[in-house]
Chain A
Amino acid sequence: MAYSELIKNFSRIRAYLRSFYVHGFRHRDEYTAKSARSYDNERRRIESWLGGYMSFGQDESGRRVFLSVDSRAIQDNPLYRAFRTRSFTDRDIMLHFHLLDILDGPESREGLSITGLMDELSERLSDFEDDSMPDESTVRKKLREYASLGLVELRKKGRETIYRRSEDRTDLASWDAAAAFFQEAAPLGVIGSFLRDRMPERFQKFRFKHHYILNALDSEILYDLFAAIRESRMVTLTVHKRQQITVLPFRIYIGTQTGRQYLLACSMAGRHGGTRRPGQSTGPAPGASAASPTGQSAGPAPGAPAASPTGQSAGPAPGAPAASSSGPAADPPPHIRFTFYRTDLIDNVKTGEKTDPPEDLSEELDAFTSHVWGVAGSNAAPLQHIEMTVLAGPEEDFIVQRLEREKRCGTVEKLDGSRWRFSADVYDALEMLPWLRTFTGRIADLQCTDRRVIDRFRADFDALAGMYDMNSTGAIGNSTGATGPHTGEPDPGGADTVTTDGDMTDALS
């Protein structure tokens, strides 16, 4: 088949776009999922769509192609262009422009029957050498499709169907700034970009910091999931082109710091027993039971990357079978078991039957989410208690502010003039390690009921110190607030190092 810069299925290009954007170090021969010719075609397409953002590198192994974008410097997500590449037939485009134009005529105000439409179309096509007409059924089919898209309205007049162009009553110009903002700041923002395509004047004065444009590539998946959530339908997810998982979807979790999006869902199997609450008997140790496709626990499949959102605990291959529903559980399983799935690993969503959500779902969901730090953990596991004591002098309010605004659950309390304690009960404390490390230099004490958290933190710190030729000695984990000496020096990266006079929010420790 001849090369075209347009494509029929978006999923075909998704993996390439992602790899060019996220990885960018691969050479042609490392794209082994499909043939080298497929790679050449997809690379050529992406270059055609996103030419200005493509970069090339050369090293001893060959040429690398990658997408390099500083998302803070742009106002429109360039990846949205990939959603404007759907292929079509000669007949599709011919009917699109002629039908909408015919239905926009003054004599079509009250609508036209199929006969009227066909007559008008025939007259127009007679201008061309090829004046062959499409079948009436083809035109009807296109009109029905356009009715489902909202472009055309159908009404019955006796036995006849009358077709009318849909009317726009919304003042689109009043949406220009809102569309410019939300196309980047709301889920399914690509739809906002379609909306902006219609606007002759486009507001162009928004910019976005900490902006993960890659999430756009999951838009089709998200659209299907939102539809299923709204209608309370089961979905069968195809993950990594092979595994199929059937779950009831509830929420979409979006990371503003990780660049990832997740589906929170539950399997409907094992509806007996109850969700474990703090103080209840402990089940399998977290990390011992296969708890989640996002990889909270068991080891990865050979050669597969661990899929934990934080990577703190090695997990099964991304999208491994929904072990929450099928894995062994020592204790009676909870009534409903919640699981997170990375949306970028979902290849397809097949919507299934409507399902009545369990009566106590809302209660169970709140109980679960109030003890989840991010997107890891299983309500089949017991809660873990964690405490971190942080040093912050009287002039270092910004540290306390950081604790308050960055904690996602738990509490912050003042111990004395220079020590503050954060404490929380979470399903997976290992997931908190990256955040805990951001307080490096100020952590006076760290306690957790899961000893692995302390061990991992300490081992990582020792390794880190070693990497910069520094020794670290001493022990962490003294039970009663092991407070080491604080240098008392101003934090080199503290509030007073923020450069712009007016900027108060970059004050990070």
Chain B
Amino acid sequence: MDIFLQQLLNGLVLGSLYALVALGYTMVYGILELINFAHGEVVMIGAMVALTVLGVLAGTPLPPAAMLAIAAAVAIPACMATGFTIERVAYRPLRRAPRLAPLITAIGVSIVLQNVAMIVWGRQYVSFPPLIDVHIHEVAGATITNVQIAIVALAALIMAGLLLLVRRTRLGRAMRATAQNREVAELMGVDVNRVISATFVIGSALAAVAGMMVAAYYGLAHYAMGFMLGLKAFTAAVLGGIGNIPGAMLGGLLLGIIESLGAGYIGDLTGGFLGSHYQDIFAFLVLILVLVFRPSGLLGERIADRA
């Protein structure tokens, strides 16, 4: 029972991170039907930029909260600029190309960004400076740290804000209209290119926050960290129904919980043959099962809507 609750809490934290990243995949897919495989690298850039800023600030007498705020204030615009540029340079020229072309380009952008990051930040792990006092709280026999609580709370706040943005604002309406029918949205006065840019920029801002959280959670960042994280978040988006925003949130949380519980019990299940470092197989098991049995995902019905 202790293990169950502990893994559930860990899964919630992991799932919040997946959800934030999955939103970037799903928003872009919803509007362009493009899988932006470079999105994981945007998360990595967010983490790297934030750690670089924190490294510079670490010697100063600023309070840790101010350092984190400054790091975010640099990392978020950096990621927004990256996302904006990716769309302009790599995807917009291919807007009318067959769908395979932008997909291959996305993989190319991902490789380019990884290599640029490797040149800038090197091959070694970059560590998160020890500026947060980690407190451990006990909850019914399980433990959770203040960092974990902050991650879950902040992710929930950001996701609530995103839902409000999409459902209640002028830009949100334009985004939904563009997702449903780009041509008609344009004929009704919506500047579709601006909406698409805004979508990339907003998704990249979420990615920056997620990158900082991942770095704070694991205490590390690495130029290749975006690859696996991106694949997991993509899986989460597919699980929830790609193109569907609440779906990405649900899919992220579920995937985090499935992975954590899987990692917690895989040793028992296999009689000790497989250890918890095999937790990655659960994400991809989920991906395969969803693609086979419910390709539209848990909340997705976009394709049915269009028919």
The judgment on whether A and B are partners is no
Residues of B within 8 A of A (CB): none
Which residues of chain A have a CB within 8 Å of any CB of chain B? Answer: none
